[in-house]
Copies of this chain bind each other. A is one copy, B any other.
Amino acid sequence: KEKKILTLAGDGIGPEVMEQALHVLDWVQENSDLSFSVEKDLVGGASIDANGVPLTQEVIAKAKAADAVLFGSVGGPKWDKVGFDKRPEVGIIGLRKELGLFANLRSAIVFDSLIGASTVKPEVIQGLDLMIVRESTGGVYFGEPRGIETLPDGTRKGVNTEVYTSVEIERIARVAFELARQRQNRVCSVEKCNVMESGLLWKEVVTELHQKEYSDVELSHMLADNCAMQLVRNPKQFDTILTGNLFGDILSDLAAMLTGSLGMLPSATLGSRQANGVIPALYEPIHGSAPDIAGQGKANPLAQILSLAMMLRYSFDQQAISEKVVHACEAVLNQGLRTPDIMSDGMKLVGTEDMGKAVLVE
């Protein structure tokens, strides 16, 4: 049966890297009995330019009707002045919310052939494979009240609210425990419970769920500031990190940079299974829209291609073909091909298109 994919390439390097991912998708179709219908639409700044808003109702409806969304990246200086409610980032934040994509899975994996690209010593990161399970429809990203008000004396006041309910915490903790069971069976839950009551509740709910249903999984707790330190000191101590929206945003970017290859890292954001059996899912690179190199054919398409591989695995249950794509990516690295972000001595510098095409050759 044909699977419906909605692609939202977005801004900056998004369209360039998406193009390469779609070539890989063609190759997947030619070399398997899978078939896909691909619909393309706009999001972020590109949608602002065309429609005046970063995320249209039509795109939301299409995303809901699709079996999976393949997302690029949004944002750029061009839209710095559009106003808070219409900023390009609403494209991705709004999709997460509208589709109920509460579980943002971000893995930081070190590719052996790229180990030198990291600023961290090889022995510290060799073989690193950690998974960050970030809650992505709650916390300070969505909490009310929020906004800026001017007080009678002219002072301005900016407010945001961090809110987590036990239901939200339990739901995301469950995802982390389930994933950990398929990994090294260790979850480290991260909050700032020595300062924030919302973090205290987080810790309590995770502890309760663990005792009730997941006591076979090893559970530890860590403060967010300490976690940032420990990621630098010894990232291999972690298997699965479970955390909220804001801490997850920061810690997953930090973890990604440890690998030295942000251009290589995909992510998946998943919701709850729907009545029709579909689990809403969006796949996107961890890197942003990189406006500084957009349109120059320099961007690394591998994170977008690996996002496609994640889609094949998680949304379409195609373990084998997904691994084929991952291996094809590793193979081009082993051949010595490098985009500028991962370039090192003795390697062959290539652009987005050449990198993407090389992945096609089996």
Binding site for B on A (CB under 8 A): 75, 84, 87, 89, 93, 119-121, 124, 140-141, 143, 146-148, 151, 155-167, 192, 194-202, 205, 224-226, 228-229, 231-234, 246-247, 249-254, 256-258, 262, 288
Tell me which residues across on chain B come within 8 A of A229, comparing CB atoms: 253-254, 256-257, 262
Tell me which residues across on chain B come within 8 A of A121, comparing CB atoms: 119-121
| Shortest distance from the beta carbon of A241 to any chain B beta carbon, whole Å | 14
For the residues of A in contact with B, the DSSP-based class is: helix
Query: When the two chains form their complex, are residues B119 and A87 in contact, meaning their CB atoms are under 8 A apart?
Result: no
Known A251-B228, A254-B254: A93·B195 in contact at CB below 8 Å:
yes
Known A166-B155, A194-B75: A225·B249 in contact at CB below 8 Å:
yes
Query: When the two chains form their complex, are residues A166 and B162 in contact, meaning their CB atoms are under 8 A apart?
Result: no
CA distance A254 to B235 in the complex (A): 13
Question: 5 new A-B pairs (CB below 8 Å) besides A151-B165, A156-B165, A225-B249?
Answer: A121-B121, A156-B166, A158-B164, A158-B165, A160-B198
Query: When the two chains form their complex, are residues A233 and B205 in contact, meaning their CB atoms are under 8 A apart?
Result: no
- Which chain B residue lies CB-closest to A256? B229
- Which chain B residue lies CB-closest to A166? B156
The residue in A159, A249, A262 that gathers the most chain B C-beta atoms within 10 A of its C-beta is A159
Query: When the two chains form their complex, are residues B159 and A197 in contact, meaning their CB atoms are under 8 A apart?
Result: yes
Query: When the two chains form their complex, are residues B201 and A148 in contact, meaning their CB atoms are under 8 A apart?
Result: yes
- Which chain B residue lies CB-closest to A162? B160
Tell me which residues across on chain B come within 8 A of A143, comparing CB atoms: 159
Tell me which residues across on chain B come within 8 A of A158, comparing CB atoms: 162-165, 196-202
